[in-house]
Amino acid sequence: MKIAVCIKRVPVMDQRLAIAADGIAIVESGLKFDVNDFDLWAVEAGLQLKEKAGQGEVVVISLGPDAVQEQIRKALSMGADRGIHLQAAAVPPDARVAARALADELKGGAYDLILFGRIAVDVSNGATGAIVAHLLGLPCVTAVSKLEITGGRGRARRELEGAQETVEFPLPAVLTIDEGLNRERLPSLKGIMAAKKKPLDVKPTTLTESRVVVRRLQMPPERSAGRIIGEGAAAVPELVRLLQTEAKVL
Amino acid sequence: MPNLLAFVETRAGAIRKAGLEAVTAARGCVDAAGGGEVHALLVGAPGIAARAESLGEHGADVVIVVEHAGFERYNPEATAALAAERIGSGGYPLGVFSSTAQGRDLAPRVAAALDAAIVTDATTLTIEQDAVVVTHPIDTGKLIAIWAIRGTPAIVAMRPGAVLLAPQPRTARIERAQPVSDPASARVVTTELTVGDSATMDLGDAPVIVSGGRGLKSAENFRLVEDLAAAFGNAAVGATRAVTDDGWRPHSDQIGQTGRLVSPDLYVAVGISGAIQHLAGMRTSKTIVAINKDREAPIFKVADYGIVGDVFEVMPALIAAVRAARAAST
Ligand SMILES: Cc1cc2nc3c(=O)[nH]c(=O)nc-3n(C[C@H](O)[C@H](O)[C@H](O)COP(=O)(O)OP(=O)(O)OC[C@H]3O[C@@H](n4cnc5c(N)ncnc54)[C@H](O)[C@@H]3O)c2cc1C
Ligand SMILES: Nc1ncnc2c1ncn2[C@@H]1O[C@H](COP(=O)(O)O)[C@@H](O)[C@H]1O
C-alpha cells in the first residue's frame, strides 16, 4: 500500500483570532498552529491501512511556508515514512491553486490511495481533495467515516444529514476523511526521535493565480448577551411565552 | 444580467429545503442585479419531474429536468458531469449549489470539471460587474470572510438555513435533458442509502434543532431530546461530540467545528456545556435556548433564553408545554 496524505497547517481554534491592520489577514504572530484535525485522522487512516497491509509507505505532503515542516514532523513522529514540503510563502483561499500544486507532486507517485481531510478548519472550503482527484483522473469519495479496503476495491460510509450512504469504488482513489473514522495516535517519544531522521524533501513551488480574492475580514456579529430567564421547571411557561411572542418560533 | 443555474438537491425522490434555498439564492442574485433568469437543474429517477412545479413557486423561470434510473441514489460522477456540462454549455457565469453533505461532495466536482473557482458554505451571495461576492465564515466562524470570485464560471454552495425562503411564484417552463455520461458506468457507486427515523427532520432542513449533550447521562435519556423534537413537529436532533464519541448518537448528528454547521431558527441546547468547538457549529442560529444545571456553563453566554435546572426536571415540563402550545395553535 502506497499512501499519500495531504496535511495543512492551521491555527488552533481555541484561541482568539484578530484581524490585521490591512483588514484582509489574521494576525499570526503569537498564534499556536497544528495539523488540521481532519488531516490527523487521514494520517491515522493511512498508518492503519499500511499496518494492516503489512507493507507499504505513508508519505505526507504539505504546501505552505517553511513553518509547515513542523506539522510534517508531527505526522512523521506519528509514524509516516517521509515528508514532502511544497514551499510557497502563502496559499490563497482558491482551492484550485493548492489542488494544482498538490496534484503536480502526486502525479506519477503511483499511490494506491491519496488521503485528504474533509475540510480545512481555517478556510473551510472542503474542495481541495475533489479537485486533485479530477486533475489526476482518479475516483473520489468525500467525507469518509468508515472504510474497508479489500483486493483493490474500497467500500466507504458517508454521513449525510440524518442519513448514511455506502459507497463502493476501485483503487487507486482519492478519499477525504471525516470525523468518526478514528482518533489519531499520539506521537511516542521513540516516534519523535525517529522523525528527526526521516526524509523531508523541500521543493520550491510556483502557484497559479488565485481567482478568489479576499476583500475583507470581519468579526461575526456579536450575539446579544445571554439571558437567564429562570430556574427549573417553573421557568418553562415563561420560555414558551418568549418563544411565541418574542422569538416567534412556536 | 445573464441567467444563473441553481442545482436542486433531492433525496429519495423529494426536493430538499436546501434545494429550494439554492433556487432562492439565485433568484435574489438575479433580481438584485437587475434581471435575468433562474434555471433550476433537477436530477433524479423517473418521476422526479412531478416535483418541478414547486420550483417555479420559489423563483425558477426554467426547470431543466433530467430523469434517469441511474439517478435513483446520489450518483456523484454522473451528476457532476451533467451539472458541469450544463453550466459550461449554457454560459452561466454562476452555478449555485447547497452546502449540505451531498452538495459539499457535488459542488467541488463540478468546479473541478469546469476549472472554476469554488466557495462552499457561503452565507450571502451577490453578483457584481466582474465578480461574484460571497460572505463565508472561516476559522470555525470566528471570522467572516468577504471574498470576490473573479472569472467565470464561479461555483458557490450556500450554507443550509442561510437563505430565507419566501414564495415568489411564477410558472416555470419545463425543459427535458439527458445525462451526459452513462450513469451506470460511474466508478464511484452509492450502493445503499439508509435514512434515519422519520419522526424527526434532518439537520439540513429543520427550522428547529434540539441538541443534547453529556448532561443527559445516557443514550436512553436521549428520548427526552427526541420527544421535544417531536413536540415541535419541525425539529431535528443534534448532539455534541461527547455524545457521538460515546456512541449515543451517530456522528452525522454532531454539531460543531468538526461536525455539521447549522443555522436554524431555534436551537435548543440540552445538557450542553457550550465548548468553543460546539459553538462553532451553531452560534449563527437565530434564537438559542439552553438548559443546564450549571449557571456558569459557557452556553449561557450565547443563549437568548437560559434555564438553570436539571434536564430531567425541565425537559418533561417543556415537552408538555410545547405540545400544549402547538395543540392550541392548530
Ligand atoms: C479538535 C476538536 C474538535 C471538536 N469538535 C467538536 C464538535 O464538532 N462538536 C462538539 O460538540 N464538540 C467538539 N469538540 C469537543 C468539545 O471540546 C467538548 O468536549 C464537547 O462539545 C462537550 O460536549 P458536552 O457539552 O456534551 O459535554 P460536557 O462538556 O461534559 O458538558 C455537559 C454539560 O451538561 C451539564 N449537565 C450535567 N448534568 C446535567 C443535568 N442533570 N441537567 C442539566 N445539565 C446537566 C453540565 O453542567 C455540563 O455543562 C471538539 C474538541 C476538539 C479538541
Ligand atoms: N496547503 C495545503 N497543503 C496540504 N494539504 C492541503 C493544503 N490545503 C488543503 N489541503 C488538504 O485539503 C483538505 C481540504 O482543504 P480545503 O479544501 O481547503 O477545505 C485539507 O484537509 C488537506 O487535506
Domain residue ranges in chain B: 4-185, 208-329
Q: Separation of B269 CA from ligand 1 center, angstroms?
A: 10
Nearest to A170 among B147, B187, B265 (CB): B187
CA distances from A80 to A18, A112, B66, B118 (A): 34, 16, 45, 31
Strand partners, B175: B64
User: What pLDDT, in 10s, does the model give residues B205-242?
Assistant: 789 999 999 999 999 999 999 999 999 999 999 999 99
CATH of domain A2-204: 3.40.50.620
Q: How far is the CA of A120 from the centre of ligand 2 (A)?
A: 6
Question: In the prediction, which pLDDT does B199 show?
Answer: 57
Q: Which pLDDT value is given to residue B65?
A: 98
Domain B4-185 matches domain B208-329 at the CATH topology level? yes
Cβ distance B139 to A13 less than 8 Å, yes or no, reads: yes
pLDDT tens for chain A, 250 residues long, are 999 999 999 999 989 999 999 999 999 999 999 999 999 999 999 999 999 999 999 999 999 999 999 999 999 999 999 999 999 999 999 999 999 999 999 999 999 999 999 999 999 999 999 999 999 999 999 999 999 999 899 999 998 887 889 999 999 999 999 999 999 999 999 999 999 999 999 999 999 999 999 999 999 988 888 899 999 999 999 999 999 999 999 8
Task: Identify the residues whose C-beta falls under 6 Å from ligand 2.
Answer: A 6-8, 36, 38-39, 61-64, 91, 95, 98, 116-117, 119-120, 123, 125-129
Burial of A32 (0-12, 13-18, 19+ CB in 10 A): exposed
Burial string for B174-184 (b: 16+ CB within 10 Å, else e) reads beeeebebebe
- What percent of chain B has a predicted confidence (pLDDT) above 90? 85
* Averaged pLDDT score across all residues of chain B: 94
The distance of B275 to chain A (nearest Cα, Å) reads 9
Q: What is the pLDDT of residues B44-89, one digit of tens each?
A: 999 999 999 889 999 999 999 999 999 999 999 999 999 999 999 9
Identify all chain A residues contacting B118, using CB atoms and an 8 Å cutoff: 95-96, 125, 127
Any CB–CB contact under 8 A between A147 and chain B?
no
| Adjacency order of strands within the sheet including B124-127 | A212-218, B143-150, B131-138, B124-127
Q: Which residues pair with B268 in a beta bridge?
A: B210, B289
pLDDT at residue B197, as a whole number: 62
CATH number for the region B4-185 comes to 3.40.50.620
Q: Which CATH class name applies to B208-329?
A: alpha beta
CA of B16 to the centre of ligand 2 (A): 29
Residue entry with cell 466536482: B109
Give residue B198's pLDDT: 54
Ligand nearest, relative to CA of residue B118: 2
Report the phi/psi class of residue A195: left, alpha or beta, with left for phi > 0 and alpha for psi in -120 to 50: alpha
Ligand 1 environment, Cβ below 6 A: A 37; B 213-215, 240-243, 254-259, 271-273, 275, 277-278, 281, 292-294, 297, 310-312
Q: Is B102 helix (H, G, I), strand (E, B) or coil?
A: helix
* Residue for grid cell 447547497: B98
Give the pLDDT of residue A222: 83
Spell out the residues 6+ positions from residue A221 whose beta carbon is closer than 8 angstroms to its own. none
Read off the pLDDT of residues B93-131 as tens digits, 9 standing for 90 and up: 999 999 999 999 999 999 999 999 999 999 999 999 899
State the complex-level ipTM.
0.95
> What pLDDT score does B194 carry?
86
Peptide bond into B153 cis (omega under 30): yes
- The predicted structure's pLDDT at residue B200: 65
Mutate to test the interface with B, among A12, A211, A213, A242 (most CBs of B within 10 A): A211
Instruction: Report pLDDT for B203.
Output: 82
